[in-house]
Amino acid sequence: MDFYQGFQLGLDKVAKEGGLFDLQVIDSRDNVAYNATLGASANVKNAVLVVGPVYPREIKSFAQTFANKNVLQVSPLAATMASEFSLPNLVSITPSIRTHSETLAKYVAEQFYTGDQILVYDAGDDDSKQFLANFANEITKANAQAKVKTVYSLTELNNNLVMTGSNHIVSGTSNKNLIKSLLEDMDERFLNPGNQFKLYGHPNMSKLSFENFENMDFYSLTVTSSNLVNESDSDTKKFIGNYKSLYKIDPSEFSYKGYDAALYFGRLIHKYGVDYVSRMTQEKFSGLNSDYKFEFYPKWGYANRALGIMVYHNKKFDRK
């Protein structure tokens, strides 16, 4: 509901800019079988864009009966990798965890200088296995000179620290207990002269609190993020005011995502008409919450590769 309320506001804004749209909101009933009937229904037969359904199983069931593959079907919220759907007309707005991993690996590679050491710490949990798969290779692909090693315990990590430069430590977990152990270990060694640390992490680390770790600002904890709301921005303030006035509640993260999606696709359709599909990979977008940079893959459609870099400072994450 939050997403589609935000979408409505975004489309209203594009309409004020001259766009003319017929918006239909259809209840998917959170039902896989019913979504299959929607794909063949008259309600979507003449659509130029379909936004939804939201959940992965429903996306698949709708697509099986949605015959017009020249019309884009937008996956509005699911972070599921586009390759898992195998739908050439699917648009995946939310970057996958692999995109987060590849983006951060490239960023870490750019921070490496002679004398530094990059330590990829795999704590063995599911998050680490998923996020760090091929991480070291992505670093060396981006910077062949980078000195990188994957370690599997704090003891192994400590045995590979260097004193000649910075130790770039990449954590793949979002488990607060595992992170607590890592930070306590770093704090203990940070007090020793010569140890320099820079910390990089799983995107879900941005949801944790680090107020009890007094040295956090020295580690410059860096994560990738697809949620980039700046509430002090004038456009954001205006959106918040309009949303609260219309719906009597504060917008959520999903409301922002819906608003941005409407602005992007609404303006694209208004500008290019039915030819908007051919412009997807050329038209970049920076919204209140999300950035879009789509790449096309013939077997599984359009995947958003745009991510921001967030750095922890003064007890909060700021966009770099």
258 neighbors 264 (Cβ within 8 angstroms)? no
| DSSP notation for the chain | -HHHHHHHHHHHHHHHTT----------TT-HHHHHHHHTSHHHHT-SEEE--SSHHHHHHHHHH---TTSEEEE-S--S-GGGT--TTEEE-SPPHHHHHHHHHHHHHHH--TT-EEEEE--SSHHHHHHSTTHHHHHHHH-TT--EEEESSHHHHHHT--SSSEEEEEE----HHHHHHHHHHHHHHHTSTT-EEEEEE-GGGGGS--TT-TTHHHHT-EEEES----TTSHHHHHHHHHHHHHHSS---HHHHHHHHHHHHHHHHHHHHGGGGGGGTTT--EE-SS-EE-EEEETTTEEEE---EEEEEETTEEEE-
Residues in the chain: 320
Strand partners, 74: 51, 91
Q: How far is CA 54 from the centre of its chain?
A: 16
The pLDDT value recorded for residue 252 is 96
User: Each residue of 98-146: pLDDT tens digit?
Assistant: 999 999 999 999 999 999 999 999 999 999 999 999 999 999 999 999 9
Q: Which are the contacts of 84, defined by CB distance < 8 A and separation ≥ 6?
A: 56, 300
Single-letter amino acid, residue 234: S
The pLDDT value recorded for residue 214 is 87
Tokens matching residue 109: 């590679």
Section 271-284 average pLDDT: 95
Q: Is the pLDDT of residue 191 over 80?
A: no
Q: pLDDT confidence of 228, banded at 50, 70, 90? A: confident
The pLDDT value recorded for residue 232 is 86
User: Each residue of 288-307: pLDDT tens digit?
Assistant: 999 999 999 999 999 999 99
Section 307-318 average pLDDT: 93
Q: Say which residue, 229 or 183, is predicted with more confidence.
A: 183
The pLDDT value recorded for residue 151 is 98
Q: Report how far residue 223's alpha carbon sits from residue 310's, in angstroms, rounded to the nearest whole number.
A: 5
User: Each residue of 205-217: pLDDT tens digit?
Assistant: 999 999 989 899 9
pTM of the model: 0.92
Share of the chain above pLDDT 90, in %: 90
The pLDDT value recorded for residue 195 is 83
User: Each residue of 25-67: pLDDT tens digit?
Assistant: 999 999 999 999 999 998 898 899 999 999 999 999 999 999 8
Q: Report how far residue 153's alpha carbon sits from residue 158's, in angstroms, rounded to the nearest whole number.
A: 9
Spatial CA neighbour of 79 closest among 193, 202, 166, 250: 202
Q: How far is CA 255 from the centre of its chain?
A: 15
User: What's the chain's average pLDDT?
Assistant: 95
Q: pLDDT confidence of 224, banded at 50, 70, 90? A: very high
